[in-house]
Amino acid sequence: MRLVESTSIMTLAVEDVADDVRDFQQSMGLSEASDDEITETITDLRRLVKGGRLPVYRALSGIADAADIEIEGHRHWAYDIRYAVPYGGGSSNYVVISASVAERDVDWLSTLAVIGTDEREIRPNGGASLPVVKIEKASGQKMPFPKGLTLRA
C-alpha cells in the first residue's frame, strides 16, 4: 500500500491511490468509490494545498466564546466549509472554526476512505497541530480568539 507509506497524496499516481483506497474500503466494510469519485476528490484536495497546508473547517455547538473550545481531540474536519456542520446537525447555535493542517499530518487513507459517502472530511493524524485562522458564529459574526490559538487532533 503506497498510500500508507507516503505522507502525501500530492506525488502519488491517482491509480495507486485508488487501489489503496478501495482495498481499505473493502477491509472496513465500506462501499467502494468509483475511479471518477477518487480522481475528483484527489484533484480537489491537491488544488486546496497551499504551502504544504490544507484549509479545514469544523463546526462546534454550544460555544459562547473561544475559551469554551477544547484544545485537544479534533479528529474530524471538513475540507469544504459547506460540510462543516455541528455533529448531529440541526442546531443554530454553533461556531465554525477555520484552521489549517499540514499535508504531512493528514491520515490520507482514513480521509479518502469516506469518498462516496457525501463527506468532505479531512482526518488529521492524532496530535496534529491545527492553527486557527478564524472563528465565526452561525450568523456569520466573527468571534475573537487568542492570537496563536492552535487546536490538536
Segments making up each domain of the chain, as ranges:
2-152
Average pLDDT, the chain: 86
Greater confidence, 50 or 32? 50
Is residue 71's pLDDT more than 70?
yes
Model pTM score: 0.86
3-state secondary structure at position 144: coil
Measured distance CA(5)–CA(97) in Å, rounded: 30
Strand order of the sheet with strand 129-137?
121-122, 77-78, 53-61, 94-102, 129-137, 150-152
pLDDT single digits (tens) 139-148: 889 999 999 9
DSSP 147: T
pLDDT on residue 85: 85
Q: How confident is the model at residue 64 (pLDDT cuts 50, 70, 90)?
A: confident
Measured distance CA(153)–CA(124) in Å, rounded: 6
pLDDT on residue 141: 93
Beta strands in the chain (DSSP E): 53-61, 77-78, 94-102, 121-122, 129-137, 150-152
pLDDT on residue 91: 67
